[in-house]
Chains A and B, each alone.
Chain A
């Protein structure tokens, strides 16, 4: 049974990240995803200190607040003339460091160890059960991630054309009256939500992997946006399953193996993609030369 819950949890994390990752990759904002996944940390610690529990609702709001704060600060620094990669670096390292300091200061009250935040504890998801009126409802993480995934799917499908145009041509989007800034913050809010829901299972570092790698893999395999989202989810889930099997065989970190599997799938796509793969290109050239 634990196998089932772990794979389900992993697949939910992968799906949340895969959908949002597509838009991050296309908007060339992969590193903003990285930034957010780190800088929500102080939010999580503060929520912890305030509520004294891992109460997800408060954590979700705290993470959302810090995610949007990160987005806002990065934007502000860029507008005041700082290079975009430098502004990202400044904002997220500083906020992340605040989180680290908070954890170390309040370690006793917080019951949150840095390893768990960074690497997750997906192996134990099935121990943390949500009970409703004494009834075992299954792992809490699954409910939290399921809810997050539903929100993401609902928002993205409702505003699909807006997100698409904002990613491809923000100038036209603004010209026809789409509030580009609001959709930017909406996307970043969703990334913050996905990050905090995924935290306990796969940790901050590996969330970034799942945000970026499956989406980049899908980018190599298709020329349609809708297809890219589908493939990204597929690659994310495949990485979860393969990674989990590998982790069991090797008795290694599950989250680590999941992202390694994603990396392997990316490498395969890079080599063997029918349209953009290195092998296909070589073959085509050889055919032309012959």
Chain B
């Protein structure tokens, strides 16, 4: 089945399939759609910013792409196949508030969880997983905190642990939900360096981002979202005043300021 599919590529498209192609995706929690008919296709090896107001459906888009919530219409393909067949290629950094940091575990153990997907049903994490996890922790500058109980880490350190866990997943396509939320300048720098390192390795990273002032510096492409897809494309073409006005509706009084005053606390997620 998959063989015939692989062989019968449409004529002319010799290029490798896109890391993520979303076609007419519609998602509703109750009655009202939270995402409506979203269609786009991303390029491999880019850093992509997902921008939109609170409640625009950015987290929902990621969750639907990961198959965490059912969609009522449309299709998501990861490297040309349904995400179910491609789970090992995908890494995920959820919003930091989505887990209970009082859980009895330490930083190293959390990073090792990133390896669970590679272990199959019955194998337990062992020395190899531990070594990988330690390496990932040092990549985010957290090696000294390996044995620290996770509630005794600062918010920025917790975010780094989450990033290390995603690195441990060793994926090709990453989804990160607000990795920059509530971190200080040093951690923000560390994170963006890491994202650029991932990009150098040819990985594709989709990042939900709220700080409009840094979008142009960080991302190759941006996706403007407000229930419907507002625009998607290279940052310099898409990230314009006009398009942002349209995306944020009337709620954009702060925007002009944030362009002139970079890194002002513009619009951190609620």
Binding site for B on A (CB under 8 A): 26, 28, 81, 158-162, 164-165, 167-169, 171-172, 174-178, 219, 222-225, 227-228
Partner of B104, one of A158, A174, A175, A225: A225
Interface pair A224/B104, CB less than 8 Å apart: yes
Task: Report the bound CA distance from A169 to B114 in whole Å.
Answer: 11
Known contacts: A165-B116, A172-B113. The answer to whether A223 contacts B92 by CB under 8 A is no
Which partner residue on chain A sits nearest B175 by CB separation? A175
Contact residues of A: prevailing secondary structure: helix
A269 to chain B, nearest CB (A): 14
Contacts of B165 in A (CB 8 A): 172
Interface pair A81/B30, CB less than 8 Å apart: yes
Binding site for A on B (CB under 8 A): 30, 63, 66-68, 84, 87, 90, 92, 94, 98-100, 103-106, 109-110, 113, 116-117, 119, 121-122, 124-125, 149, 165, 169
Interface pair B124/A160, CB less than 8 Å apart: yes
Interface pair A168/B87, CB less than 8 Å apart: no
Partner of A171, one of B84, B98, B124: B98
Which partner residue on chain B sits nearest A22 by CB separation? B104
Interface pair B116/A175, CB less than 8 Å apart: no
Contacts of A227 in B (CB 8 A): 104
Interface pair B116/A161, CB less than 8 Å apart: yes
Interface pair B94/A172, CB less than 8 Å apart: yes
Task: Report the bound CA distance from A140 to B236 in whole Å.
Answer: 76
Known contacts: A158-B122, A174-B68, A175-B67. The answer to whether A168 contacts B105 by CB under 8 A is yes
Interface pair A177/B117, CB less than 8 Å apart: yes
Interface pair A175/B105, CB less than 8 Å apart: no
A283 to chain B, nearest CB (A): 18
Interface pair A176/B117, CB less than 8 Å apart: yes
Which partner residue on chain A sits nearest B66 by CB separation? A175
Given known contacts A161-B119, A161-B125, A169-B98, what 11 new A-B pairs fall within 8 Å (CB)? A26-B100, A161-B113, A161-B124, A162-B121, A168-B110, A171-B94, A172-B113, A172-B165, A174-B66, A224-B106, A227-B104
Interface pair B113/A169, CB less than 8 Å apart: yes
Jot down 29 A-B pairs with beta carbons below 8 A, ordered by A.
Answer: A26-B104, A158-B122, A159-B121, A160-B124, A162-B121, A165-B113, A165-B116, A168-B100, A168-B103, A169-B98, A169-B99, A171-B68, A171-B94, A171-B98, A172-B113, A174-B68, A175-B87, A175-B90, A175-B92, A176-B87, A176-B169, A177-B117, A222-B104, A223-B104, A223-B106, A224-B104, A224-B106, A225-B103, A225-B105
Partner of A176, one of B30, B110, B116: B116
Known contacts: A161-B116, A165-B113. The answer to whether A174 contacts B105 by CB under 8 A is no
Contacts of A176 in B (CB 8 A): 87, 116-117, 169
Known contacts: A161-B116, A165-B116. The answer to whether A172 contacts B103 by CB under 8 A is no
Which partner residue on chain A sits nearest B147 by CB separation? A223
Interface pair B103/A167, CB less than 8 Å apart: yes
A79 to chain B, nearest CB (A): 10
Partner of A177, one of B84, B98, B103, B149: B84
Task: Report the bound CA distance from A160 to B125 in whole Å.
Answer: 11
